[in-house]
Amino acid sequence: MNTFRRLALAALIPAVALSLSPSGAPAQTPSPAPAASASPSPAPSAAPAPAASASPAPAATPSPAPSPAASASPSPGPAAPPPAASVTPAPVQTADPFGLETTLEAKKVVMVKGTANWDSAFDTLVDAFKALNALLDKQGIKHAGNSMIVYTSTDDTGFTFLAEIPVEQDPKNLTKDMSIGKSPEGKALKFVHRGSYDNMDNTYEAITNHLDDKKLEAKDTFIEEYLTDPLKTAEDKLVINVFVPLK
C-alpha cells in the first residue's frame, strides 16, 4: 500500500553568677597583759587575768570563679545544616528508533483472519486476540512471542488483517477462521508507537513521510507487534513496534 491511513480520535552557656565569697575577717589583736606593778602586789584577786583571745581560723577563701571568657569556650551556635546531597538527575530517555533497518524472522504462529471498520478497529482486534488466547489457554499452550497484527489491505472505511500469536506447538480444534502458519519475514523498517491505538494516525503519517523522504517503497502490508498485552494494558499505555516490509 502506498499510504498508511488511521482514523484520528491523547521533592548559651547559661549565665554563671560570678559573686565571690567574702574574705575571712581579720584576726583580732590580743589585748596586752597589764604591766606588773613595781609596788608589792596585793593579794591576788580571785579573778584570773584575762587570757589573750585566740584568733579565729581564717575562713577558707575560694578561688575566684574564672571570668566567662576564660572559663570555657563559648557555646557553639546552631549546627550548620549539612550540605544538601547532590541529586543525580534522572536519566534522559532516548528517543525510540524510527526507521531502524531490521530483518524479520519467520515464526510459527496460530492466526485468525478478520475484517474491521476504523470506528471499532481496536475492539475488533482485541476480540480476535481473545479468541486465540481462549484456544491456547484451553489446551495449555503458552505464547512463544508477542501478539501481532498483520494488515493485508486497507481503505477509507476499514481493513482486513491476521491476528497472530507465536507458538511452539500446534494447537488443535481450530475454528474455520483459524490456521497455523508463519509470521512475515525479510527486510523491514522498525518504528515505535507509544500511546493509544486511536492516536496511531500520527505515527503512520510520520512513517509515510519518512518513506517519501528516503524514497523507499513498501510492500502492500505492515505489521504491528504488541510489546504490551492489549488484553491487560490500558489503551493509552500501549507500546507497539510497527514493521514496514520493503520491496
Supply the CATH number for residue 161's domain.
Answer: 3.20.80.10
- Please check whether residue 1 is in contact with residue 220, taking contact to mean a CB–CB distance below 8 angstroms: yes
- Evaluate whether residue 110 is within a structural domain: yes
Can you give the pLDDT at residue 9? Answer: 35
Can you give the pLDDT at residue 119? Answer: 92
In total, how many domains does the chain have? 1
- Taking CA atoms, 72 is separated from 19, 62, 68, 69, 77, in Å, by 18, 19, 7, 7, 14
Can you give the pLDDT at residue 56? Answer: 46
pLDDT at 221 exceeding the cut of 80 = yes
- Evaluate whether residue 239 is within a structural domain: yes
Can you give the pLDDT at residue 19? Answer: 38
How many Cβ atoms sit within 10 Å of the Cβ of residue 190?
18
- Evaluate whether residue 16 is within a structural domain: no
CA 41, CA 20: separation in Å to the nearest integer?
A: 53
- Taking CA atoms, 234 is separated from 85, 164, 238, 241, 243, in Å, by 37, 21, 7, 17, 22
CA 192, CA 200: separation in Å to the nearest integer?
A: 10
pLDDT band with cut points at 50, 70 and 90 for residue 97: confident
- Evaluate whether residue 220 is within a structural domain: yes
- Please check whether residue 151 is in contact with residue 161, taking contact to mean a CB–CB distance below 8 angstroms: yes
CA 247, CA 232: separation in Å to the nearest integer?
A: 35
pTM of the model: 0.63
Q: Which domain holds residue 233?
A: 98-245
